[in-house]
Amino acid sequence: MTGFTGVVCLLDGGLHAPACVGQQLPPTITAGYAQGRTLLGNAAQSGRVKQRRRLVAKASKVLQAAAQRVTGKHAHISVDCARSLGATLQEAAGRAAQLAAAL
C-alpha cells in the first residue's frame, strides 16, 4: 500500500508486535505513536496541499523521534521489542517523509 493508507496500515500493527506482547510500553513511545497517527489522520482529511505536506512532514519527525526513544536508556523494554518497534517506527517515518515529498 502507498500513500496515507500505507503509512497508517503500517502504524496500526506497530505497537502490537509479537515481540512486545505482555510488555508495558513507555508513555513517551506511545505518545509519539499517537501524535504521529493523529497528524497523519489530520493530513488525510485536509483539503489544502500545503497543509497536508506540513502535517505529514511533522508526523515523520515525530515518528522518527519516537523510534529513537525506543532504544533510549529509559525505554525499559526487551531488546527484541525495541528492535521491532524501532524498525516499524523508522519505516513509518520514512514512508511519511516520502509521502510529504510527493505531495
* pLDDT digit string, tens, across residues 31-43: 999 999 999 999 9
4's CB contacts (< 8 A; 6+ apart) are: 40, 43, 44, 99
Does any domain span residue 19? Answer: no
Domain of 69? 3-14+24-102
Does any domain span residue 83? Answer: yes
Does any domain span residue 71? Answer: yes
- The per-residue pLDDT for 2 is 76
Q: pTM of the entire structure? A: 0.88
Quote the CA–CA distance of 98 and 103 in Å, as a whole number: 9
In the chain, what percentage of residues exceed pLDDT 90? 48
- The per-residue pLDDT for 17 is 82
Residue 13: DSSP 8-state: T
The residues of the chain scoring below 70 in pLDDT are: 74-75
Number of domains in the chain: 1
- The per-residue pLDDT for 51 is 95
Does any domain span residue 52? Answer: yes
Does any domain span residue 56? Answer: yes
